[in-house]
Structure 1
């Protein structure tokens, strides 16, 4: 019995150390992606001086919103790194930013009303889940006690 407890403790410690090492690599990759996204956005500013400035603004807008989505992913990874768990609200925020990026892109192309309705339903569903997750989070439960 004692040997099994020691073995479980060692395996748990190994898992935690391995997860932190891999997460550190992931955070480094995310930071590199954010830096590349910022550089790419600044590079795309040159498109503003082209004849199709409307397309240039669309490209820059999508670039900026994509970087913001990656920042939300970084926020999720950092929360896991510091708290040892992933917050549902961070994941929902990431999906909301990504979906809203697509909504912004809808402004620049023709979309059927069915697709627009599906996106609106998705955004409203995510907003409702976000509100429920904040309202019934474990942290708020502890504060009520």
Structure 2
């Protein structure tokens, strides 16, 4: 026979205790969001400091770096949106993940403009963007949240 006192102590802290689990996830997601906000702040500061380089190295060279950096900052903002939706809904929406992937791939495609690239590299990027766009359309169309 199990002592009722031991039974009571066993149930006091369980890994599957939903309150503890929710608090732990909120803490982890909060730390991730703070890290992303810090990264965005550093990126914006870097962009502002890059504007000073225009006088030294020319506008076009700095513009390509700024464009790619801005797209990366937008990808970070999309990641924050994923984390916020997870906190609000308790799940991650597939469309948000696809948005991040699309922003990153479009940024990579833009980055190819300023480098030597092959037609195959551009074709692969365009094919991946097309597939992700179609997946995003399908995920919206057949979402459980969709209202008929």
Partners in 1 of 2:22 and 2:133 — Cα distance?
Answer: 33
Partners in 1 of 2:29 and 2:37 — Cα distance?
Answer: 12
Give the conservation status (yes or no) of the 8 Å contact 2:102–2:129. Answer: yes
Counterpart among 134, 137, 141 of residue 131 in structure 1: 137
1:107-126 to 2 correspondence within 5 Å? Answer: 107-126=113-132
Deviations 1:110-144 (A, max 9, x none): 2111111110110000000000011011110xx23
Give the conservation status (yes or no) of the 8 Å contact 2:85–2:93. Answer: yes
Alignment: residue pair count:
138
Aligned counterpart, 1:11 = 17
1:11-30 to 2 correspondence within 5 Å? Answer: 11-30=17-36
Partners in 2 of 1:139 and 1:17 — Cα distance?
Answer: 26
| TM-score between the two structures when normalised by the length of structure 1 | 0.88
Partners in 2 of 1:57 and 1:66 — Cα distance?
Answer: 14
Partners in 2 of 1:75 and 1:47 — Cα distance?
Answer: 32
1:1-145 to 2 correspondence within 5 Å? Answer: 11-140=17-146, 143-144=147-148
C-alpha RMSD over aligned residues: 1.8
Q: Which runs of 5+ in 1 are unaligned?
A: none
Shift in Å, 1:8: 7.2
Specify the structure having the higher radius of gyration (Cα). Answer: 2
Deviations 1:74-95 (A, max 9, x none): 1111110111110111111111
Shift in Å, 1:10: 5.6
